[in-house]
């Protein structure tokens, strides 16, 4: 079964109105080639689940400028000042989540868990409208799982089956997003034959992955460049 | 005169003394980031919420790896014994009570022990990051902050006017003027920074506190 595709091919799976998870902590570990291809698509009304919306005019920041994002779910949009500008003129809905709650909600979404309770956020403005439950004399907040139609993730290396390994702190949200979407596209810097990755080192087993795309844009010391 | 940078370094240097041997420590953005260089790197494990335990100081800044950053997106290095993990595991460490100490910055801390460090009233709230998670889960919370705002207003207030980050109370506050601890829900001044007078602390602090000198002198 061949999962290797071009970025153009896999984007046929993205439709207007979709919810899309995008890996990365800022640009670190973001699937830059897939994001670039997404900006070329005639789609709109997207809900993006990602820690940030890139930086101003970079990564998901391009998609924001194009007005294709209806709603952003994430934990730290401060790194792109244009997010606030779009919000102020009513062009963007924002759902801000504590980073741990966002991560856990994605993990839950991928594990078939509908919702869970956490202490994080209790008694704060982010708890408004949410159920509080007392468990062992402590207050916990009800949080629902997150799922998506499509996940765009970044790994260092894949085998052709779709087993993945990651590189240092570029791992971040990518392995959990791989579990929580109907169609999961992994952008990788290197593709090897099955057997070349040690079973013990595989972080994301292949059953989560629908398509593999070789990266064209990568983050270097000089910024984002074409390889 | 001390510059802002000097003041921040002074706070960071004092804060590093709070690290217990072989503790797992998370450093927030701002002054907390400066603490690493004053800590004994052989006797501490720095955790960063973007997915790493064993964060080290970069020895050759021009030779940084763009795939190896801390939660402030600054390039870092890998200590011997380091490990990487995904965001949900990283926050399970924090929220599950496995991280012993977190050093955080603050906009305000009040005399009840609540802190505000994520949102400013009247401005769009665009980021929270891991602040609420660290408050809910780290065993000990140490606040490192300038004693007053840039406009000279006290940051140690009676009651936070900015949105609070958690209903969990902090343990210790370190500023360029003094060190405070919460003992039995009361704010206690336990130590003056070198050359600082009690009068100076009183003049710059809105919160009520008691004086309770720490027995051993540092």
**Which CATH number covers residue A32?**
3.40.1080.10
With contacts defined as CB-CB under 8 Å, which chain B residues touch A125?
Answer: 119, 125, 163
Q: B213 CA to chain A: closest CA distance, Å?
A: 33
Assessment of whether the complete model's pTM goes beyond 0.90: yes
pLDDT of the residue at A195: 97
| Full domain range(s) for residue A95 | 4-113+147-226
Closest CB to B136: pick one of A119, A170, A175.
A119
Q: B106 CA to chain A: closest CA distance, Å?
A: 16
Mean pLDDT of chain B: 95
Report the percentage of chain A scoring pLDDT > 70.
100
Q: Do residues A25 and B69 lie in contact, with contact meaning Cβ atoms separated by under 8 Å?
A: yes
Angle subtended by helix axes B87-95 and A99-110, to nearest 10: 120
pLDDT of the residue at B200: 98
Report the percentage of chain A scoring pLDDT > 90.
97
Q: Do residues A49 and A76 lie in contact, with contact meaning Cβ atoms separated by under 8 Å?
A: no
Backbone dihedral region of A62: left (phi > 0), alpha (psi from -120 to 50 degrees) or beta?
alpha
Q: In what order do the strands lie in the sheet with B115-116?
A: B115-116, B108-110, B156-157
Q: Is residue A65 part of a domain?
A: yes
Residue with tokens 């207030």: B157
Task: Report DSSP letters for B76-118, one per residue.
Answer: -EEEEEEEE--HHHHHHHHHTT---EEEE--SEEETTS-EE-S
Q: Is residue A102 part of a domain?
A: yes
pLDDT in tens, B24-75: 999 998 899 999 999 999 999 999 999 999 999 998 888 899 999 999 999 9
Q: What's the rounded Cα separation, in Å, for the pair B86 and A175?
A: 6
Lowest mean pLDDT among A146-160, A191-205, B61-75, B81-95: B61-75
Cross-chain Cβ contact A171/B124 below 8 Å = no
pLDDT of the residue at B218: 46
Interface ipTM above 0.95 = yes
Q: Do residues B57 and B37 lie in contact, with contact meaning Cβ atoms separated by under 8 Å?
A: yes
With contacts defined as CB-CB under 8 Å, which chain A residues touch B51?
Answer: 25, 169, 171-172
Q: Is residue A124 part of a domain?
A: no
- pLDDT band, residue B216 (cuts 50/70/90): low
The domain tally of chain A equals: 1
Domains of chain B and any CATH numbers: 4-211 (3.40.1080.10)
Q: Is residue A177 part of a domain?
A: yes
Q: Is residue A129 part of a domain?
A: no
Q: Do residues A151 and A165 lie in contact, with contact meaning Cβ atoms separated by under 8 Å?
A: no
pLDDT of the residue at B4: 86
């Amino acid at each position: 079964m061949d999962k290797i595709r071009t970025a153009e091919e896999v984007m046929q799976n993205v439709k207007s109105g979709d919810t899309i998870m995008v890996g990365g902590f800022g640009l670190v570990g973001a699937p830059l080639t897939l994001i670039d291809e997404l900006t070329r698509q005639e789609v709109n009304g997207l809900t993006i689940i990602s820690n940030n919306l890139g930086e101003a005019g970079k990564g998901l920041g391009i998609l924001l400028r194009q007005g294709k994002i209806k709603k952003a779910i994430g934990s730290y949009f401060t790194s792109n000042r244009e997010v606030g500008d779009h919000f102020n003129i009513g062009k963007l809905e924002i759902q801000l989540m504590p980073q741990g709650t966002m991560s856990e909600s994605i993990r839950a979404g991928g594990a078939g868990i509908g919702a869970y309770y956490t202490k994080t956020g209790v008694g704060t403005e982010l708890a408004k409208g949410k159920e509080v439950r007392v468990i062992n004399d402590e207050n916990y907040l009800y949080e629902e799982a997150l799922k998506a139609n499509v996940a765009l993730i970044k790994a260092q290396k894949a085998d052709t089956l779709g087993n993945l390994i990651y590189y240092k702190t570029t791992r971040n949200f990518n392995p959990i997003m791989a579990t929580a979407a109907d169609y999961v596209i992994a952008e990788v810097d290197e593709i090897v034959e099955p057997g070349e990755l040690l079973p013990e080192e595989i972080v994301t087993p292949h059953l989560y992955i629908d398509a593999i795309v070789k990266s064209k844009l990568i983050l270097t010391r000089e910024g984002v460049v074409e390889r | 005169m001390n510059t802002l940078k000097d003041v921040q370094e002074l706070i960071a240097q004092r804060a590093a003394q709070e690290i217990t041997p072989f503790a797992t420590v998370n450093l927030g953005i701002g002054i907390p980031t400066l603490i690493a260089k004053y800590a004994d790197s052989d006797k501490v494990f720095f955790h960063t919420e973007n997915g790493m335990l064993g964060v080290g100081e970069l020895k050759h800044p021009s030779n940084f790896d763009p795939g190896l950053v801390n939660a402030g997106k600054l390039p870092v290095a890998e200590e011997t014994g380091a490990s990487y993990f995904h965001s949900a595991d990283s926050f399970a460490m924090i929220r599950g009570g496995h991280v012993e100490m977190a050093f955080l910055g603050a906009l305000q801390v009040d005399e009840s022990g609540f802190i505000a460090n994520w949102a400013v009233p009247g401005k769009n709230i665009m980021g929270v990051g891991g602040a609420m998670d660290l408050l809910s889960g780290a065993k000990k919370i140490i606040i490192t902050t300038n004693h007053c705002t840039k406009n000279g207003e006290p940051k140690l207030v009676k009651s936070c006017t900015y949105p609070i980050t958690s209903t969990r109370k902090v343990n210790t506050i370190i500023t360029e003027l003094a060190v405070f601890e919460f003992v039995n829900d009361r704010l206690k001044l336990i130590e003056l920074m070198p050359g600082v007078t009690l009068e100076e602390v009183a003049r710059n602090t809105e919160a009520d506190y008691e004086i309770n000198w720490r027995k051993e002198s540092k």
